[in-house]
Amino acid sequence: MADLRKDYVLDKFVVVPEASQAAVEKPEGSKCPYCPGNESMTEPALLALVVQDGMLQRLSDSEDSVIEDWSVRVFQSKNPVVTTTTATSYSEKPLYSEPAYGYHQTVVASPDHKQTFSQMSVEQWGNVLVVIQDRVRWLYTQKSVTYVSIYVNSGAGAGAQMAHPHLHIVTFSSIPPIIELEAEGSHRFMNENGNCPACNIIGVESSGPRQILATDSFLSFCPWAPTYPYEFWIFPKRHITSFSKITQKEINDLALILRATLGGMSKALKDVPFNLVFHLSPEKKNSRQLHWHIEVYPQLNTWSGLERGFGVFVNNIRPEKSAEILGSASRKELAGLVGIV
């Protein structure tokens, strides 16, 4: 099991492999382990979503059979960041570390190897979100799971090791620093102002110069102070802290705005590599809560010493201009998706 080491002073954590752990190697050969027919190349499916007669079935592999004709497939990662292997390698200050305990699951988002997140149908996106919601609910029932992180690396420039569209779900026994800061900031804002900061942001950004797209339930916009060029966020309009509790109607609406904005970004920025992350509330009792949302980080620039060494980010395009470009492309995508010529 790897170690989760804390910085000498800062609340910054690093996963460090154990001394005997071999370096992760990229899969070799022409076969993609995520493609249908190659299921034996991965761990058994913990969940295989199958669409049959318009109904969704949640199935799993057994010792005797492998689920075929799946729409979305989930299994334990073969190169996990964290594991549930028993370990007791703790150390205290100033050299604090704890076992990197947790679950690392891979979600194959489509059976089609060549289909990107910006090309997937709205229906397929909906299936992916149903699976994510299922996994989040289950993982939060497990021992020592304090936080469930969900993210996409799309393209080699964004850290993807496999071209086949997939997501990662990684759990931690403590709350990641960025989420902790965001939750603490939200809690402080609510105490000082009496309302949720995200709800306040939604009011400010709705129909403003940084809005990209709005649907019945969600708003997409470029943030006021973006870390990345063309960065954008997607927020549910209603105040809700638990992704596990969003309705099927909201899942369908989220699938629509994700497909439209990612499709618009792909066309406007020529299939740019990107990271997509879910910022969810910790769902354990007594945790600070936040208005959950999604953030998308196009990877266009390489950071300099200013960003890496001092945390001061230089953006080469104003978010208002980013929103204008992404909004135009995303509205065209949306029109095509809903059949408006």
Whether 50 is covered by a domain: the verdict is no
Whether 204 is covered by a domain: the verdict is yes
Asked if the model's pLDDT at residue 212 lies above 80, the reply is yes
Instruction: Give burial (CB, 10 Å; 0-12/13-18/19+) of 331.
Output: middle
Average pLDDT on 33-39 reads 97
DSSP letter for 106, please. Answer: E
Interatomic CA distance for residues 84 and 308, integer angstroms: 32
**Confidence at residue 18, expressed as pLDDT on a 0 to 100 scale:** 81
Interatomic CA distance for residues 68 and 26, integer angstroms: 25
Whether 222 is covered by a domain: the verdict is yes
Whether 12 is covered by a domain: the verdict is no
Asked if the model's pLDDT at residue 29 lies above 70, the reply is no
In Å, the largest CA–CA distance within the chain is 63
Whether 159 is covered by a domain: the verdict is no
Asked if the model's pLDDT at residue 199 lies above 80, the reply is yes
Q: Which domain holds residue 334?
A: 179-293+316-338
Whether 161 is covered by a domain: the verdict is no
pTM: 0.95
**Confidence at residue 88, expressed as pLDDT on a 0 to 100 scale:** 66
Interatomic CA distance for residues 282 and 318, integer angstroms: 32
Can you say whether the dihedral through the CA atoms of 39, 40, 43, 44 is positive or negative?
positive
Whether 219 is covered by a domain: the verdict is yes
Average pLDDT on 293-313 reads 97
* First-residue to last-residue Cα distance in the chain: 55
Partnered with residue 279 across adjacent β-strands are 293
Report cis status (omega within 30 of 0) of the bond before 236: no
Whether 232 is covered by a domain: the verdict is yes
The CATH number linked to 204 is 3.30.428.10
Asked if the model's pLDDT at residue 195 lies above 80, the reply is yes
Residue of 45, 49, 109, 32 whose CA lies nearest to 76 = 45
Beta strands 45-52; 147-154: pairing state: unpaired
What is the count of structural domains for the chain?
1
Average pLDDT on 151-163 reads 97
